[in-house]
Amino acid sequence: MTIERRRSEWIVEALALRLNQHRDEPATLAQRLYTPLRGWIQQGELTAGEALPSSRRLARALGIGRNTVLTAMERLAAEGFVVARQGAGLSVADLGPLPVAPAPRAAMVEAPPLSGRGQRLLDFCATLSGGHRAFAPGVPALDLFPRERWQRLLRRHQQRSPTDWFDYRSQGGLPALKSALCDYLRLSRSVRCHPEQILITQGAQQGFELITRLLADAGDTAWIEEPGYGGAQACFAMAGLAMQPIPVDAAGIDPEQAAGPPPRLIYVTPSHQYPLGVTLSLNRRLALLKTAERHRAWLIEDDYDSEFRYTSAPLASLQGLAEGAPVIYVGTFSKVLYPGLRLGYLVLPEPLVEVFRRASARLHREGQYVVQAALAEFIEAGHFARHVARMKSAYRQRQAWLRQALAPAVAQGLELSSGHAGMHLVARLASLEQEQRLVDTGHAAEVALSPLSRYYLGPGRPGLVLGYAGSDEGEIARAGGWLSRAWLDLRSR
Amino acid sequence: MTIERRRSEWIVEALALRLNQHRDEPATLAQRLYTPLRGWIQQGELTAGEALPSSRRLARALGIGRNTVLTAMERLAAEGFVVARQGAGLSVADLGPLPVAPAPRAAMVEAPPLSGRGQRLLDFCATLSGGHRAFAPGVPALDLFPRERWQRLLRRHQQRSPTDWFDYRSQGGLPALKSALCDYLRLSRSVRCHPEQILITQGAQQGFELITRLLADAGDTAWIEEPGYGGAQACFAMAGLAMQPIPVDAAGIDPEQAAGPPPRLIYVTPSHQYPLGVTLSLNRRLALLKTAERHRAWLIEDDYDSEFRYTSAPLASLQGLAEGAPVIYVGTFSKVLYPGLRLGYLVLPEPLVEVFRRASARLHREGQYVVQAALAEFIEAGHFARHVARMKSAYRQRQAWLRQALAPAVAQGLELSSGHAGMHLVARLASLEQEQRLVDTGHAAEVALSPLSRYYLGPGRPGLVLGYAGSDEGEIARAGGWLSRAWLDLRSR
């Protein structure tokens, strides 16, 4: 009894001390009672069966309301840390052999390891761009985006939005956006579709995820372009697909060159091959369609930046070449508007529409209907087409600035890709060692030099992928000038 | 020569007709020339080697500018449909054996089928709620959301936002949001974390996707609650995991009851089991932690609606029970704010932080930084906590209305779950046949009755999952009254 009283006094004193120490915490008084008590029980300071001071006594001793004490005690009881005592009051519950001891950090690191596919995924994170620096590929001109107009649209649709836009949805996207997009794609990309075939996604990556997993099983083969896009490859890897890289020549990939097991998926960037920039020729397109039909495979057409073609009108889509072709068209607003928007879309063959809609709602959920409504108006009112046209001339100009900045190196033999289209140029280098050197020194100069060799699944060719769309004149001149000098330096050694 | 001339006249006339017919289309003139020409070439109306009329002649005959004709022809040439002719002008290219014929629709449906995992996924779409109707589970009170305040915050952060918020990011979310969330979770959920451990996702589903695939391989075992949450199960199924259902009793799942191969992942809803509503007891929590450590498995703590507890303070998280425990805490803003927001988060053990951040940037991309900034302020300024408190009392009231509406049935033996917490009640039914009848008739009465049996992976128990949080008093009275009568009807037969 004396021991119990003494323990009980210890609890009261310790609590008074804690309350005093943590006076400035934004927690409620009840939380500030609860937390230390729970800690002492978990650490074994208070042991099973031990009585706690009565709520009346605690309230008086600590100078706080009895209800506050009761709130803390009720929570401890609800969570099983204390139990009602024979007679009256509460005592510490029997938690069995003591809970998990703090694990040393090193043990945790090595403890439950990543999955095999998780490990493999890391290989595809190498070409990941993040944070703005000159030459990061795939970044549009954020400085030229019509922010005020866009914000006005967002505001208007925020105010107007019906309540059910905030709910769980499974429509495959806002009908108004699907319809606006459908008109745009039919006109500008010769895509054959009606609005129901469109599924709005939270970016192209989500589209790849759906396609890959709904249409292929682990062990199936995907044909990919070599070199090619790491984002799509990451999805294939995570889905357990075997990737068959097919070399890209001046006319794109040649299905005749493919060996090995028949493909289930064929991934292509026909308008503007990523990253090399070539256009898939019409004959190759037709051959690919035939190959896909023969193998009952699906063609994935990733049309990521086809809007920006400088020497002729944008090419028609592969999807639109033939009625009922097994092609899924993947689009994104990350390039034309901005990456942080997280909106993209699929154009699906009719038999897949319903199943993709359900799978998307289940696996990813839908949302951002306000943004979708603003985007629908942006397209319908013609702002989208005007923005594309403006960006096309801005990017042509930015490419010209880059060529100008690199002219001294080009005069000495630096080889650049044609640049008929898109948001980046490829510079060919003499060796992987040269590539590595430039990438390393670029890092220090705030220049994001993406090594071409990393875009290859097999042995890579040396080069640099130079995004120019996201940088203004000054940055292009600075970074381009630096690169030109760095290349000349390396060459003269 | 005469034939060529006659063909050439046919082309001019046919084009004139088409231009006239499609005068109102929003396409450019060049597009309206290009489209029929391409169509005729693809359909074989124009054959390989056939000469096209000169641009000069077409322009004159159609009464349009020569540049317009040239634009159309250049596009056809760029895409490989026409080629430069010996001498001058253009002729139709040789596309080889004719392109893909329009596939009959039926053939396509049956053509390249869904993957095995795609087929399996459809089983998990049954409990999907979409579109608002009374009793849809998991839908919060969208009518009580402080829209004006939220829109003010969005507007402010839209205006303030730095350009790089619109770019590709790989920070794992806006630091301000991670920090605000961390404070909130530490105080209200006893989560042990610092801000760097938080990864912002586009909803809880994206969190499940990352966990499942980064930490488990196909063929690995996941323990799940039986009955349980279809959204998480859909991820496990798509990732090829073997699911081991563990029955939920009054204290949650009992790891001692598990048989079969050791788990790699253990999925639990400890605060408020979904859908049955029980709380995982402290002893079971400790036992689960020990089991996870023994098997080097990861515990996934899905804390989807723990904020809404009516009889005591919210329970502390499983994650916070022990330092360094192998627990990943999954949170969502879909319940506390609204589903269409598409924001959720993971609290990761430190060794996983970096790898999850990279994987998330690669597989899903980051975005919506404006919304993240608005949310950070919403939390920091205390609006979040106040909204939770208001919703708690609103949901308690809504549950009371539901009980009142169901009172006639309850008086005759309809059994309801305790409702100490959460956003739904479970009604037990006598048979699966009764369940089916009620669900069918509910459909016609605009009442979304979710059959309890569908939440089971194995043979299901009959019942109904009745979401009440998303419906107002009138709707609850109407739908509840309907259900009460329908149940009494069925029972008296």
Q: How many CB atoms lie within 10 A of CB A447?
A: 24
Which tops the pLDDT comparison, B35 or B229? B229
What pLDDT does residue A130 have? 55
The pLDDT, as a whole number, for residue B100 is: 45
Least confident of B38-42, B150-154, B388-392, B395-399: B38-42
Is residue B123 over pLDDT 70? yes
Is A218 an interface residue toward B (CB < 8 Å)?
yes
Lowest-pLDDT range of A190-204, B53-67, B384-398: B53-67
**Which of A120-129, B46-55, B235-244 has the weakest average pLDDT?**
A120-129
Q: Search chain A and give the residue with CA nearest B349.
A: A108
Residues of B in contact with A146 (CB under 8 A): none
Q: Shortest CA distance to A102 belongs to which of A33, A148, A39? A: A39
Query: Which of A111, A143, A158 lies nearest to residue B163, judging by beta carbons?
Result: A143
Q: Please report the sign of the dihedral spanned by the C-alpha atoms of residue B34, residue B40, residue B42, residue B48.
A: negative
User: Above 50 in pLDDT, residue A40?
Assistant: yes
Q: Is residue B224 located within the same domain as residue B80?
A: no
Boundaries of domain holding B57: 3-92
pLDDT at A478: 95
Cα-Cα end-to-end distance for chain A: 88
A314 plus A425 within the same structural domain: no
Do A344 and A305 lie in one domain? The reply is yes
Question: What is the interface pTM, i.e. ipTM, of the complex?
Answer: 0.80
The tens digit of pLDDT for each residue in B426-465 reads 999 999 999 999 999 988 888 889 999 999 999 999 999 9
- Of the residues A361, A384, A407, the one at which a domain ends: A384
Selecting from B35, B163, B293 the residue whose C-beta is nearest the C-beta of A100 gives B293
The answer to the question of residue A109 being in a domain is no
pLDDT of residue B270: 95
Give the CATH number for residue A29: 1.10.10.10
The predicted pLDDT at position A97 comes to 59
Angle at which helix A116-123 crosses helix A230-238, to 10 degrees, equals 170
CB contact, 8 Å: B108 with chain A? yes
Question: Is A190 within 8 Å of B35 when comparing Cβ atoms?
Answer: yes
Note whether residue A7 is domain-resident: yes
Which pairs count as long-range contacts for A377-381, CB under 8 Å and 24+ apart, including other chains?
A377/A153, A377/A156, A377/A157, A377/A176, A377/A180, A378/A149, A378/A150, A378/A153, A379/A177, A379/A180, A379/A181, A379/A183, A379/A184, A380/A176, A380/A180
Read off the pLDDT band of A482 (50, 70, 90). very high
- Of the two residues B30 and A415, the one the predictor is more confident about is A415
Beta carbons of A341 and B367 less than 8 Å apart = yes
One domain for residues A209 and A347: yes
pLDDT at B110: 44
Whether residue B127 has pLDDT greater than 80: no
Contacting residues of A for B388, CB less than 8 Å apart: none
**pLDDT band (50, 70, 90) for residue B306:** confident
Give the per-residue pLDDT at A129. Answer: 60
Supply φ then ψ for residue B313, to 5 degrees.
Answer: -65, 155
Do residues B196 and B280 share a domain? yes
Mean per-residue pLDDT, B324-341: 92
User: Both B408 and B467 in a single domain?
Assistant: yes
Query: DSSP string covering A368-381, please?
Result: -HHHHHHHHHHHHT
Per-residue pLDDT of B15-65, as tens digits, reads 887 887 766 666 778 888 888 888 888 777 788 888 888 888 888 888 888
Q: What is the pLDDT of residue B22?
A: 66
Cis amide leading into B162 (omega within 30): no
Q: Looking at residues B287-297, what average pLDDT do you find?
A: 93
Measured in degrees and rounded to the nearest 5, phi and psi for residue B72 equal -65, -45
| CATH number for the domain that contains residue A401 | 3.90.1150.10
Question: Do residues A289 and B99 touch, judged by C-beta distance below 8 A?
Answer: yes
Question: Is the pLDDT assigned to residue A58 strictly greater than 70?
Answer: yes
A300-309, A324-333, A459-468, B61-70: least confidently modelled range = B61-70
Rounded-to-integer distance, Cα B186 and Cα A103, Å = 20
Q: How confident is the model at residue A202 (pLDDT cuts 50, 70, 90)?
A: very high
Confidence of residue A132 (pLDDT cuts 50, 70, 90): low
Q: Among B365, B384, B403, where does a domain finish? A: B384
Q: Is residue A110 part of a domain?
A: no
Nearest to B363 among A158, A234, A340 (CB): A234
pLDDT band at residue A108 using 50, 70 and 90 as cut-offs = very low
Domain identity same for B177 and B283: yes
A32 Cβ partners below 8 Å, 6+ apart?
Answer: A18, A19, A22, A25
Q: What is the dihedral of CA A210, A215, A219, A221, to 10 degrees?
A: -100
Q: How confident is the model at residue A170 (pLDDT cuts 50, 70, 90)?
A: confident
Confidence of residue A7 (pLDDT cuts 50, 70, 90): confident
Question: What is the mean predicted confidence (pLDDT) over B213-233?
Answer: 96
A380 and A431 fall within a common domain: no
Q: Is the pLDDT of residue B125 over 90?
A: no
Per-chain mean pLDDT for chain B: 88
Q: pLDDT class for B220, splitting at 50, 70, 90? A: very high
- Tell me if A369 sits within 8 A of B340, measured CB to CB: yes
**What average pLDDT does range A167-189 have in this prediction?**
91
Confirm whether B458 is domain-assigned.
yes
Domain assignment present for B98: no
Structural domain contains residue B74: yes
Alpha carbon of B402: minimum distance to chain A alpha carbons (Å): 21
**Of the candidate ranges A22-36, A226-240, B31-45, the one whose mean pLDDT is the lowest:** A22-36
Average confidence (pLDDT) over B276-300: 94
More confident residue, A113 or B339: B339
pTM over 0.90: no
**A321, A402: one domain:** no
Q: What percent of chain B lies above the pLDDT cut of 90?
A: 58
Question: Who wins on pLDDT, B234 or A19?
Answer: B234
Chain B nearest C-alpha distance from A481 (Å): 24
So what's the pLDDT on residue A275? 96
pLDDT at B301 over 80: yes
Note whether B391 and B468 are same-domain residues.
Answer: yes
pLDDT at B307 over 70: yes
Q: What residues does A427 pair with on adjacent strands?
A: A416, A464
CATH number of the domain enclosing B240: 3.40.640.10
Shortest CA gap B363–chain A (Å): 6
Categorize the per-residue pLDDT at B103 as very low, low, confident or very high, splitting at 50, 70 and 90. very low
Q: Are residues A62 and A153 in the same domain?
A: no
Per-residue pLDDT, B3: 63
Our count of domains for chain B comes to: 3
| Token pair of B145 as six digits | 């959301």
Name the 3-class secondary structure at B430: coil
Q: Is B354 part of the contact surface with chain A (CB cutoff 8 Å)? A: no
Confidence of residue A318 (pLDDT cuts 50, 70, 90): very high
- The pLDDT of residue A24 is 62
Closest by alpha carbon to A449, among A405, A400, A482, A418? Answer: A482
Q: What local confidence, expressed as pLDDT, does residue B51 receive?
A: 87
The mean pLDDT value for A218-246 works out to: 95
Task: Yes or no: say if B136 and B467 are a contact pair by the CB < 8 Å rule.
Answer: yes
pLDDT (mean) for A55-68 = 86
Residues B125 and B260 in one domain: yes
pLDDT at A105: 39
From B384, B402, B430, give the residue that closes a domain: B384
Among all residues of chain B, which has the CA nearest to that of A295? B112
With a cut of 70, say whether residue B130 has pLDDT above it.
Answer: no
Residue B465 forms part of a structural domain: yes
**pLDDT cut 90: percent of chain A above it:** 58
Is A113 part of a structural domain of the chain?
A: no
What mean pLDDT, rounded, does chain A reach?
88
Task: Quote the pLDDT of residue B383.
Answer: 93
